[in-house]
Amino acid sequence: MEVNLYSAEGSALSKIELPKIFESEIREDLIHQVFRSISLSMRQPWGSYPRAGMRRVGQNVGPNHGISRVPRVAGGSRGVLLASFKGGKSAHSPRSDRILSKKINKKERTMARDSALSMTKSRDMVISRGHKVPEGITLPVVVEDGIETIRKTKDAVDFLQKIGLYIDVERAISGYKIRAGRGKARNRKYREPKSILMVGSNQENLRAFSSIRGIEIASARSLSLRKLAPGGKGGRLTLFTKSALAQLEEVTE
């Protein structure tokens, strides 16, 4: 499959052949499954102290005393240690030693990534994900390596306006809002829609784009399912530089 190669001015220079990985079978079910496994594996273990409520000495006096045989403090009648008593252990509390990671087969992870890459070339899937794509532009967007020399954010914005992709950034800017619910108090106050994923030969060369709302940067070697399919839904609007596309072919062979 051929797509247009665009210049830094936004004009189509020539045609370029996409690597065979973009012809991979599209498996949305596999993308969702692998994304969920990755997300669950990123959870931080938490729980109560295993000895909480158990750092007391409690004894029961045995049978034939007319009182229930529960552990009590020495010289008194106050019950200790059990979950039903004040200061006792917690019943069924979260355990910090619980294994939270989910196993993913290496082949399934690779297939999910390849499937997410294949979805980036489908205009219908990119639009159904919510992205705004200008008419006539080929997907995925492939640009000459000159954009990796951009060092200022204002020049990066000028480039996106010339090629016609800034309308998707504006969508992300307008969708940036305060989250509803308790998440505001849990270090995730704002919701920010995802915009363009920019893939270059080196992430450092695309730093000028990283401060633009909704844009993420990556290299061909650091492409992951979490960037290609945020939320477990593929079809992200993706831009590759020419050298990144060649690098991608080497990485996925």
The predicted model gives 229-250 an average pLDDT of 94
CA–CA dist 156, 189 (Å, integer): 27
> Which residues sit opposite 191 in a β-bridge?
177
Q: What is the pLDDT of residues 80-91, one digit of tens each?
A: 999 999 999 989
pLDDT band at 96 (very low <50, low <70, confident <90, very high): confident
Last residue of a domain, one of 80, 99, 118: 99
| Average pLDDT value for the chain | 94
Reported as a single tens digit per residue, the pLDDT across 66-78 is 889 999 998 888 9
Cα–Cα distance, 128 to 175 (Å, whole number): 16
**Domain span at 69:** 44-99
Closest of 51, 59, 111 to residue 80, by C-alpha: 59
Domain boundary (84, 99, 114) is at 99
Is residue 253 predicted with pLDDT exceeding 90? Answer: no
- 15-48 per-position pLDDT tens digit: 999 999 999 999 999 999 999 999 999 999 999 8
Q: Do 229 and 188 share a structural domain?
A: yes
**pTM for the structure as a whole:** 0.85
Are the beta carbons of 74 and 57 closer than 8 angstroms?
Answer: yes
- The residue out of 65, 82, 99 marking a domain boundary is 99
Q: How many domains does the chain contain in total?
A: 2
Domain for residue 164, yes or no? yes
**Whether residue 59 is found in the same domain as residue 171:** no
- On the question of pLDDT at 244 being above 70, the answer is yes
CA dihedral 148→194→125→162, nearest 10 degrees, is -40
